[in-house]
């Protein structure tokens, strides 16, 4: 075999090298690009950072296949994966924020309800009809004598 693609030579000399297919776009029809890595923990659906010629010379891709066969006769450059993206901490922060916002909304509703209740009770003139509305919700004790 005449091996002219030097970017795939590492696959021949180091058995720990893995060929990983990634996509830059969502969807089953998105083109797949091969990268190489020594990281044995990269799995399908992981997000990885790969080199590019745009922006900061890197971007994030999604892993769609691992440990694929390498075509040593292909002239396509196979570059190294820069690293795996860990989203665990980000997802935990987002979850905590969501929980906090839910608690804040609940407190706001409770505060508004209390303000409205105070205003309603202040406006009631004590008549039986006015008090009956508040009694429906069980907010007031029954007037004495009833």
- Res 131 pLDDT > 80: no
Put the strands of the sheet holding 18-23 in their side by side order: 79-80, 33-37, 18-23, 58-66, 47-51, 83-85
21 contacts 63 by C-beta, under 8 angstroms: yes
Q: Provide, for the chain, the percentages of residues in helix, strand and coil under a 3-state DSSP scheme, each rounded to the nearest 5.
A: 35, 20, 45
- Helix 88-123 × helix 128-136 angle, to 10°: 160
> How much is the pLDDT for 10?
95
**What is the tens place of the pLDDT at every residue in 69-121?**
999 999 999 999 999 999 899 999 999 999 999 999 999 999 999 888 888 87
Alpha helices by DSSP H, the chain: 9-13, 88-123, 128-136
- Res 143 pLDDT > 70: no
> How much is the pLDDT for 138?
61
Cβ neighbours of residue 120 closer than 8 Å, sequence gap 6 or more: 133, 134
> How much is the pLDDT for 129?
59
94 contacts 49 by C-beta, under 8 angstroms: no
> How much is the pLDDT for 56?
94
Q: pTM of the prediction?
A: 0.67
């Amino acid at each position: 075999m005449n091996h002219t693609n030097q970017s795939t030579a590492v696959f021949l000399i180091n058995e720990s090298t893995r060929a990983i297919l990634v996509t830059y776009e969502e969807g089953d029809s998105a083109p797949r690009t091969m990268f190489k890595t020594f990281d044995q923990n990269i799995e399908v659906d992981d997000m990885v950072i790969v080199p590019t010629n745009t922006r900061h010379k890197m971007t994030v891709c999604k892993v769609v296949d691992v440990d694929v066969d390498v075509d040593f006769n292909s002239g396509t450059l196979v570059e190294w994966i820069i690293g795996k993206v860990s989203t665990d901490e980000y997802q935990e922060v987002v979850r905590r924020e969501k929980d906090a916002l839910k608690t804040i909304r609940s407190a706001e509703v409770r505060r508004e309800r209390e303000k409205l209740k105070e205003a309603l009770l202040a406006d009631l003139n004590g008549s039986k009809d006015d008090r009956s509305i508040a009694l429906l919700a069980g907010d007031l004790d029954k007037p004495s004598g009833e």
